[in-house]
Structure 1
Amino acid sequence: MKKWGIVLLVWLVCTSCSSTEAMKSTDIPLRQIGLPNRLTIAADFVPKDLHIVAIGDSLTEGVGDENGGYVSDVKEKLMQHKGVRSVTVTNLGKRGLRISQLENVVEKNQSSVQKADIVLITIGGNDVMKIVRSYLFDLTYSLFEQKQKTFAKNLSGLIETLRSMNEKATIVLVGLYNPFSSPLQAIPEIDEVIDMWNEGSREVLSLYDHTIFVDVKDVFDDRDDLLYSDQFHPNERGYELIAERVYQQLLRSMEP
């Protein structure tokens, strides 16, 4: 496989030290996933108080949207559901975080995680960027495959930690998207890397009940108008579309 060093140097210069994430979610099998049984809407339901913990990188923080990004949008959508009386959000997102750093975030906020009905996660973009910086002139597809396996192992460990604190919370992971426009779009391997990374994350979540992988990659394909001025993070509309994917998946998981 050919090396991509020079072309990806353009990527690195254009994107600076920003973070990424997110991807496509229409044909995702749902196994035994979804909101906890205590949130199932019965005929004589009483609206519930919902607790959300959001962890991850700049997409969780909402960089690029002064209104709070997709986490805030998901909250607003849930508030419109007849089965929800209130939504409390603890947003622990921080720009630049990688998968290996989330364990520490979770452990420091154990009490919040224990009370959560939903855990929202965006992670992985900074892990990809770290690979690019570390192997700038020696990048191959096989290298990304190798590093993705390490990422998947860490992701599995993160899910195990969350489950040890909270057995029933719905864990939602938003996949990666490809924000890179010409000339990088001319390299098919870039898209292949993102697809491979997402598939690996989807496979990890498939091993656990009450989990949802939200693929939004297709939302951003050839859609520079959905990106913030840094041409990297989503803008307000981009976050709205991520939130819509997340919300629709949550609704499907609530169906009996």
Structure 2
Amino acid sequence: MKKFITPIIPAVVAVLAFVFLSFLSPKAAPRLKVEANNQNQNYKQTVHFVALGDSLTQGVGDETNRGGFVPLVADSLKNEYGLSTVQTENFGVSGERSDQILKRLNKDDELQRSLESADMITLTLGGNDLLQAFQKNMTATSAKKFNSSIKKYQKNVEKILTETRKLNKDAPIYILGIYNPYYLNFPDIDEMQQVVDNWNDATEELTGDTRNSYFVPVNDLLYKGLPESSSDSSSESSTEASTREFSKDSTEQTSGQTSEGTTVRNNVLYDGDNFHPNNLGYQLMANAVKEEMMETNDLWLLKERK
């Protein structure tokens, strides 16, 4: 018996030593799980998203009637971060210029209360201001003719940002740029695109002067439409992939050149007016907004900011 037991003693000792050391040594998997839980514990489970602006916020052209890019952003963020709720409030009013949005902001108690409690805020404006400026300068041959209109617009936006910051000093504000819906039908009118670019530059300049304020450009996503292959693909494609498609030769686009007098269809704009985004257009906008929000999530997602 002694001769039988003696050879296996070292093996038994080795097994016991391994078990003992296993109890003493921390295990990698549980530690990683704890770290993940600690991170999630510092995330809010419910966030409040307030959208203010014109028809782009209201969602004109969205045939689902859900409210354009706003619910798309909310749903995406909820899935991305495993949130219980993304509470959205949509204060978009079609046709409003920046001065009208400012007036509403100063008088609407419900809007003010919503902004006070918001975790993040989006703002769309400028398109109707630009449309009014075009109507007043029908014969303008230079983009410089619109400088006074841009300055007037800037003052309104500056006041909107100031009043919003008075109500809520921390929530990040994401201002969407405007786009040129007429580019495909008037591609040779360079001045029109220059005015749109100047308008966006003026808006971006203001966001740079306002704390926790960010400019979200959308012109490059919308003004040329999507190539046929891209528009047929999933609407969940990233904006980076979509933007790469825009750089392709215009002969690949469904919205290529046609004979004079023929309206060219932009496949990311609503067929009802060829002005507002359609479902695909709003998805492209939502992707751009979501990406900016994700890059700055420490401003709206964390329970306590470091």
Q: Find the residue that maps to 1:168 and give its secondary structure.
A: coil
Higher RCO (CA 8 Å, separation ≥ 6 residues): 1
The alignment-based identity, stated in percent, is: 31
1:48 aligns with 2:45: yes
1:93 CA drift (Å): 0.4
**Is the 2:184–2:224 contact (alpha carbons within 8 Å) kept by the matching residues of 1?**
no
Amino acid paired to 2:186: L
Q: Find the residue that maps to 1:81 and give its secondary structure.
A: helix
Residue 245 of structure 2 is matched in structure 1 by: none
1:235 aligns with 2:297: no
1:58 aligns with 2:55: yes
Distance 1:46 1:205 in 2: 26
Q: Find the residue that maps to 1:247 and give its secondary structure.
A: helix
Q: What are the Cα deviations for residues 8-62 of structure 1, in whole angstroms up to 9, with x where unaligned?
A: xxxxxxxxxxxxxxxxxxxxxxxxxxxxxxxxx9464344311111111111000
Q: Find the residue that maps to 2:221 and give its secondary structure.
A: helix
Amino acid paired to 1:61: Q
Q: Find the residue that maps to 1:88 and give its secondary structure.
A: strand
Distance 2:122 2:185 in 1: 33
Distance 2:116 2:297 in 1: 21
Distance 1:62 1:199 in 2: 24
Amino acid paired to 2:46: D
- Looking at CA atoms only, which structure, 1 or 2, has the larger radius of gyration? 2
- Consecutive unaligned residues in structure 1, runs of 5 or more: 1-40
Equivalent position to 2:147, from 136, 145, 148: 145
* Structure-to-structure mapping, 1:118-129, within 5 angstroms: 118-129=120-131
Q: Find the residue that maps to 1:167 and give its secondary structure.
A: coil
1:94 CA drift (Å): 0.7
- Consecutive unaligned residues in structure 2, runs of 5 or more: 1-37, 226-265, 299-305
Residue 160 of structure 1 is matched in structure 2 by: 162
Amino acid paired to 1:76: D
Residue 12 of structure 1 is matched in structure 2 by: none
Q: TM-score, normalised by structure 1?
A: 0.79
Q: What are the Cα deviations for residues 73-109 of structure 1, in whole angstroms up to 9, with x where unaligned?
A: 1111111132632111111101100000112222312
Q: CA 1:187/1:138 → structure 2, altered by over 3 Å: closer, same or farther?
A: closer
**Is the 2:56–2:276 contact (alpha carbons within 8 Å) kept by the matching residues of 1?**
yes
Distance 2:171 2:80 in 1: 18
Q: Find the residue that maps to 1:92 and give its secondary structure.
A: strand
**Is the 1:47–1:82 contact (alpha carbons within 8 Å) kept by the matching residues of 2?**
no
**Is the 1:47–1:83 contact (alpha carbons within 8 Å) kept by the matching residues of 2?**
no
1:244 CA drift (Å): 0.3
Count of equivalent residues: 216
- RMSD, aligned CA: 1.8
Moved more, 44-53 or 167-176: 44-53
1:76 aligns with 2:119: no
Distance 2:153 2:224 in 1: 27
Q: Find the residue that maps to 2:181 and give its secondary structure.
A: coil
Distance 1:194 1:135 in 2: 14
1:201 CA drift (Å): 0.5
Amino acid paired to 2:90: N
Equivalent position to 2:268, from 201, 226, 231: 226
Distance 2:141 2:200 in 1: 19
Residue 185 of structure 1 is matched in structure 2 by: 187
Q: Find the residue that maps to 1:106 and give its secondary structure.
A: helix
Residue 100 of structure 2 is matched in structure 1 by: 101
Residue 247 of structure 1 is matched in structure 2 by: 290
